[in-house]
A and B are shown apart, each in its own frame.
Chain A
């Protein structure tokens, strides 16, 4: 859908050397908002899977792709020319890679003084572990997340996903926007040394101050609240949906007023008037018994019905949604048009995650499917760099560019 309004980041160009997850998340956020993101990649990228659907499509949609051989001197020269026409150069390599190509900030600032370079390496460009190799799941292990994803036994229970990659990606996108703001006002570019490790550590939250100030060893949070005491608080098993018996509802009850509404909503069964549940302190103290009672109530109804009963009484409650709940059933996400579609070469649509915020004046939308590697080589070399067809063919013949 074309909008009459400009997209918020129209006119911003990003030269994108990122790969795997965290870096592409950052540049995808910028691309969705209208930045022209030119992905520089190898003809055979070390990516696994299909870029035309699912996660890889979500990571690379709305971007352009040019296949430049950075092991070839003429390839590097092309990349440097592209950097001169870009506002931002983003990568998530360790320090040595961009430097070896002469694509680091110090080198690029000589040919484009106001360039912004954002390097999103695993552990940063400096320090004794700058050369450590890492991925999102290993960074959250180092950061304390994996250890605290545990049940009472403290055996690691396991993360379903890599939060470190997402935290790193958001941080990278925000860094880009802040650096752009500064550049527009002062004409100055800069270098941002983003450590994905530090990005995810910085959002551990108040627990870090509890360690720093109170010297308290942190226990796995489980359903002990991280935002003030609550009871009931946790996940409770509900009635099966068809043959699926892995159905749960999350419920949080904090204040006395909420407790009273909660008791009425579930029909005030006799156990709710037991003296041991009458204050938040007592409910927290006796939560195991409270949870057992409540689980009998939830088990008799579907997660959806339980949620509606409680939400009508203004109690925080929600289905513990699985992939089908969220992608196919959730009425809220459908109504808001959260999901996006992109069109494949065969004319079919791929469904992808959308943009989690809407702007009234300059709304953005997901526009194009993730590109084939090198799909935009003609545009990038021809229109952006002004090379003739013969010059482009010569670069392909010399192996500097993959056709």
Chain B
């Protein structure tokens, strides 16, 4: 018996541009049938590096691989009248359409909410745009950097008196894609009750802002504009420190008594032995001095030694690691985090970052490697739309597929 998939039977048409590719992948990973609809020249994401062995090729973009695992590829020119008809035919039996064109663009192609809702009232249309479908910035253009700027995420990163620093991990795109998948699944569950689809208007600016913990809360509750604080976390319970062989993350939310016994045993506690430091709020208020003393303490330790002893005492310390270290991480390995995916054309397999969660009944899976350009065009047109081979050949000659 094969292992069941949670989203088995859910059909998603992924028209999204490269800025929202993660969204449909999150659904594909849990078993949804995601058909990626690409222009015949290929999705723009196929031209973004890094590339396999650094050789640019539309089937070897690691960017594209990361975001398109488990999807099928249909090349279709949806601006062509017949291409549009074929897309509408697919939409009749789809559950979700995901698009991230400029607001109004799919409507101008005759594929907007009104058209889609008319042919399939149960269909869910998820529109992801930098600033949403309405408002004075609706037609503004933006990439990940600009969205993090206008979302209030960029300003708080970096050191005081220095320019804001950009985070790793395309956080505007990823936060928006996560919210997109959440919104789409919420609409699917709502449809169980109402029988109706929803048009979801998702603003990447809003989704990205909501991924910043504290900026609006501080402003609304205290009227405070959160500054850049270097590595001191806004809560004032965390700061980066430096051991003999590299950086660690301090945390003063663990059991204070055992931490200070340890530091004092090393003869480095200075004034931290005073009882007033038992108060967690006092520790936050005086974080700069506290971390200065702890920095003096850790500087003669090796990081691994410090981490092991800290965790034995249940102190939430961590090493500031390079991302390369993730591939040697015993915890990730033991839990099978990295998934080996066969790429037969390359004669090898590739380790993909895997499940963000372990479902015991319907596990996350790497069903298929990312699709080659147009790999499933024939099978989808033949088997799902019953288009006859002669027409397929004609469409191919005309450049529609």
Contacts and interface: CB of A to CB of B under 8 A. Distances in A.
Nearest to A360: B199
A209 B65 contact: yes
A49 B9 CA distance: 46
Interface in A218-236: 218, 220-223, 225-228, 230, 233-235
B98 interface: no
A347 to B, nearest CB: 17
A82 B226 CA distance: 40
B178 A192 contact: no
Given A55-B217, A159-B157, A204-B323, A356 B206 contact: yes
Interface in A145-201: 145-151, 156-163, 165-167, 170-175, 177-182, 184-186, 188-195, 197-199, 201
Contacts of B225: 322-324
A115 B10 CA distance: 22
Interface string B188-206: 1110111011111111011
A266 interface: no
Interface in B17-60: 18-19, 22, 26, 30, 47-50, 52-54
A185 B327 CA distance: 37
A1 to B, nearest CB: 18
A357 B165 contact: no
Contacts of B358: 124, 192-195
Interface stretch (B139-147, B261-269, B373-381): B139-147
Interface string B349-361: 0111111111111
Interface in B308-362: 311, 314-327, 329-332, 334-335, 337-338, 350-362
A273 to B, nearest CB: 24
Main secondary structure of the interface of A (DSSP, over half): mixed
Interface residues on B, range: 35 or more
Interface in B167-184: 167-171, 173-175, 178-183
Contacts, number: 532
Interface in A317-332: 317-328, 330-332
Interface residues of A, number: 156
B382 interface: no
Contacts of B157: 149, 157-160
A202 B354 contact: yes
B72 interface: no
Given A146-B320, A158-B228, A218-B323, A359 B200 contact: yes
A373 B90 CA distance: 50
A186 B203 CA distance: 33
A134 B220 CA distance: 29
Contact of B168 (A11, A53, A132, A148): A148
A127 B335 contact: yes
Contacts of A330: 150
Interface in B228-254: 228-234, 237-238, 240, 247-249, 251, 253-254
A166 B314 contact: no
Contact of B335 (A195, A321, A335): A195
Contacts of B211: 161, 163, 166-167, 170
Top 8 A-B residue pairs of the complex, sorted by shortest distance between their CB atoms = A160-B156, A144-B323, A54-B221, A190-B361, A8-B190, A356-B206, A54-B217, A55-B217
